[in-house]
Structure 1
Amino acid sequence: MQTDERLQEGIAAHRKGDLETAQDIYLEILNKDPEHADGLHFLGLLHFDAGRADSAIDLIQKSLENDERNTSALNNLGNILKIVGEPKAAFAAYVRAVELDSRHEEAWKNINVLLRASGDYDEILTIMSEIVRLDPDNPNAWHTYGLALMFTGSKEEASDAFEKSLRFDDPKAPQALWRARVLSALGRPDLSKIHLENIVAADPENKAAHYHLSAVRGDDLQHAPEDYVKTHFDKFSDSFDEVLEGLGYRAPELVAEDVVALAGQKTEPFPDVVDLGCGTGLCGPLISDHCGKLTGVDLSRGMMEKAAQLNVYDFLVEGELVSFLSSDLPTRFDLAVCVDTLCYIGNLRPFMKALAGALKPGGILVASVEHLVDDSGPEFRVDASGRYAHTPDYIRKSTEEASLIYKTDRQEVLRKELGQEVQGLIFQIQKPEAN
């Protein structure tokens, strides 16, 4: 049997999880040819699957010494280096892969994930400018070039790069919607609108594109459509925590700080607590020590499945917040937390009214919102990201209209997005004590 055929048998066994058979075949090949590049490459992957990362890296590097143009091996080496905590070395492997094959989709995706962590924008800008010169209709190269330009503060040049990536790519491409939204955030709503219209025309069922097009046009939107939020976060659930970590996301910790301070004023935990828009459960573990029973509510089943794995929620409920709060609840709540969820609701009045009915007398809400600093215009506004920002006066007004007490607020940076700090408010609301 030819070596290539034998290698394919080993790969097939490897994919089925039969590591012993796969290893025997890889070693058989390497006994005949110790320098066999693919044999070394796949044995390295097997070692990694068996928990031997160091030897996996050594084997794949040796494979590349024998076949330095193997872009799959470079990409896999980058993946392993990233997992073991060597992002700069991983980034270098991915960059080398696209230098050899400018259409290597997976390597481009990995570069974009690690671009901010690499920090060496001058080098990547030099590489990207050469790649787009040699391959001028490469949407992935223009996308990465745009990211690097954006991170260095070159907004106009970044807009041009993202516009080219949209022009040369399929409007149904996974990154198309993100690029179109970024154009608006970079000050080009005209181009954003054109490309969002192209995306909607190519994919009329794309609810997210319809919503963001409405936002860019300035349509009167009271809240994000329920099916958009559900679909968006179901798709996002697997990578949600990792992505937010890369954004320096602080909202759960900031809300939890207030909860801990409130708990310090009590001798017992809050008996009944609800985490409104619990997502993957980022806030739950931070407050669970101060909760008698903790209920999580979210619209996304995918997110709740992640939250369930934490084993900190006593109950998890799939549903929309206002509908949940307005329902025939088995108990009212002593404490509610709402982290980065009200940013998908513009008009807060229905939420506040429902909250008033769901809190016990003296019950408290601790929540975060994005801060609309300009109070000379509308009281709330949706931006290109599809999230709403609110003025403090509007939050206070909608609170008091629901016969609730607006207790405190403070300004904080919630995260970074597109290289800019996102300003937010952490605020507390209380239901009056019973007479």
Structure 2
Amino acid sequence: MSATATDPNLKHLTKAREQIAKGDLKNAALTLNKAIALWPQDARVYMLGGLLAEKAGNVKGAFEALRKSVALAPAWGPGLLELALLLARQNQFKEAVETAEKVAALEPKNLQVLAGVIDIAHRAGHTEMAVRHLRRGLELVPGDVALRRLLARDLSEQGHHEESMALWDALLEQHPEDAQSLVGRVQACITAGKPAQAREDAAALLNLAPGDAVYQYYAQLTQGETPAQQPAALMLPLFDGMAEFYDVHMVRSLKYQLPKQVAEKIIARHPDKKINVLDLGCGTGLLGVCLGRLDGALIGVDLSMKMIEQAARHNVYDRFHTVNLHDALRETPDGLYQVIAALDVFIYAGDLTQAVSDAFRVLAPDGILIFSCEIADESGANLVLLPAGRYAHKRSHVEALCKAAGFDTVDVQETVLRHENHQPVHGFVVTAHKRA
């Protein structure tokens, strides 16, 4: 007897899944209606209905359908997993993690479930959970290269450097020219504060691709040099990967309040909001949300299109430019903006000499440049690249750059920028004024 004979809905479900994958949502809905007519209590129909609704932009409908699917089949793994993934995509991490753990317990040997649970753990910033399930995955498929790479990266992030390095060593012993593993071991050495140990790996990467900007950057680090800037190709995957959950992660998890504080400062200075504002490294638009609509122009600049897509949903920005901030400033005409803001972005920009000078030129008379930096020790170098991959700047050097660029007053306030691993990240906020 055929599967279709014993499961008359199978053909409709298979067809609907294919239609959803192709974006043919109207016909997918018609197909699912046929499936509901055949079997109104089929949890699979509601699961696919949830996927269809989300793809159509109806998040509320997606939740309703997926919760209906789970209510009809509480112990059915696929329905629970899709609900957990939707919760994670909508930044509802507490319930997402709880639901993911429930699915993992129900189907401990299902590799598709395992992949989904690990993805949810990473989205939620729950590295301990990810490590636990990655270890379980390696019990199911010993030697799996992708799982070993993920585990090595997560262990490095947790500070378990020896175990992370042992995993990278084993991977490279098997595949000495595997670029992903070479990069992984380089990053692990940098995170552990031992970049010199990765010199041979950096050289091997350059042998594979001599013109690669990221490999050149790593080579500089392993030689004890501080690169003036980070290559865009290194930062872009990081920001793209964070886009969907950046707002919740920064504000709730890292207690990031700078956009609110700076927006209040800007509005206090310009209560009528008749200003043009350039938001460098606008990300998902947190500053724009706090400013609201302006009686002028709010322009967002970010390297990541996925970040800009999130910022655009707030409907407060007038235009966006997908470009790095150095290029954006260099190509902007003189005297256009009353305010330029760069919050939590100069930590990736490196040497600020040209950026500060260009910002002065781009500002209108009486304009202000507001930006934040992580703080470097006054007794050390002007520019320090931290193991986490961010730049710290010496306060006195930044003040001198602003004065040299032509700003007449430079106000610097030390503050806690955000929290990471439950510890405050210290920095300072600069407000530099251009004479009227």
TMscore range, shorter length: 0.7 to 0.9
Higher relative CO (CA 8 A, sep ≥ 6), structure 1 or 2? 1
Alignment TM-score, normalising by the size of structure 2: 0.75
Contact kept? 2:263, 2:290, Cα under 8 Å = no
2:104 is aligned to: 95
The answer (yes or no) to whether the contact 2:412–2:429 under 8 Å persists in 1 is yes
Q: Which amino acid aligns with 1:371?
A: I
Match of 2:290 in 1: 286
Identity of aligned residues (%): 20
- Residue in structure 2 matched with residue 41 of structure 1 by the alignment: 44
Q: What TM-score do the two structures reach when normalised by structure 1?
A: 0.75
For 2:51 and 2:81, the matched residues in 1 are separated by 14
Secondary structure of 1:341's counterpart equals: coil
Change (3 A) 1:171 1:340: farther
Between the aligned partners of 2:197 and 2:142, the Cα distance in structure 1 is 20
Distance 1:20 1:418, change over 3 A: same
8 A Cα contact 1:413 1:424, kept in partner: yes
- d(CA) in 2 for partners of 1:159, 1:98: 31
Secondary structure at the counterpart of residue 351 of structure 1: helix
Query: Counterparts of 1:305 and 1:73 in 2: how far apart (Å)?
Result: 28
Q: Is the 8 A contact 2:88 2:120 kept in 1?
A: no
Question: d(CA) in 2 for partners of 1:112 and 1:273?
Answer: 34
User: What is the CA deviation profile of residues 120-155 of structure 1, one whole-angstrom value per residue up to 9, with x for unaligned ones?
Assistant: x5x877666565466542455556656776687655
| 1:185-224 alpha-carbon deviations (Å, 9 max, x no partner) | 2334356555555666666675434434433433352222
Aligned residue number for residue 113 of structure 1: 123
Q: 272-281 or 385-394, which moves further after superposition?
A: 272-281
* Structure 1 residues 25-67: Cα deviation after superposition (integer angstroms, max 9, x where no partner): 3663x58xx8xxxx643543325645263563453576574xx
Aligned to 1:357: 361
After TM superposition, give the deviation of residue 338 of structure 1 in Å. Answer: 0.9
Taking a change above 3 Å as real, the CA distance of residues 370 and 182 of structure 1, as seen in their structure-2 partners, is farther
Deviation at residue 401 of structure 1 after TM alignment? 1.5
Q: How does 1:186-205 map to 2 (within 5 A)?
A: 186-189=192-195
SS at match of 2:291: helix
Instruction: Calculate the aligned-residue CA RMSD, in Å.
Output: 4.2
The answer on whether the counterparts of 1:200 and 1:210 sit within 8 Å (CA) in structure 2 is: yes
| Count of residues paired in the alignment | 412
Range with bigger deviation, 11-20 or 75-84: 75-84
Separation of aligned partners in 1, 2:247 and 2:219: 24
Alignment match, 1:228: 233
Structure 2 unmatched runs, 5+? 20-24, 54-60
Change (3 A) 1:286 1:292: same
Asked whether 1:181 is paired with 2:187, we answer yes
Matches within 5 A, 1:22-421: 22-25=32-35, 28=38, 30=39, 40-47=43-50, 49-50=52-53, 51=61, 53=63, 56-57=66-67, 59-60=69-70, 63=73, 65=75, 72=78, 75-80=81-86, 82=88, 85=92, 86-93=95-102, 95-96=104-105, 99-101=108-110, 104-114=114-124, 116=126, 121=128, 132=138, 135-139=141-145, 141-142=147-148, 154=160, 156-157=162-163, 160=166, 171=178, 177=183, 180-189=186-195, 207-225=213-231, 227-228=232-233, 232-233=235-236, 236-237=239-240, 239-243=242-246, 245-247=248-250, 248-249=253-254, 253-266=257-270, 268-269=272-273, 271-288=275-292, 292-327=296-331, 329=333, 331-372=335-376, 374-417=377-420, 421=424
Aligned mates of 1:76, 1:267 — CA distance in 2? 46
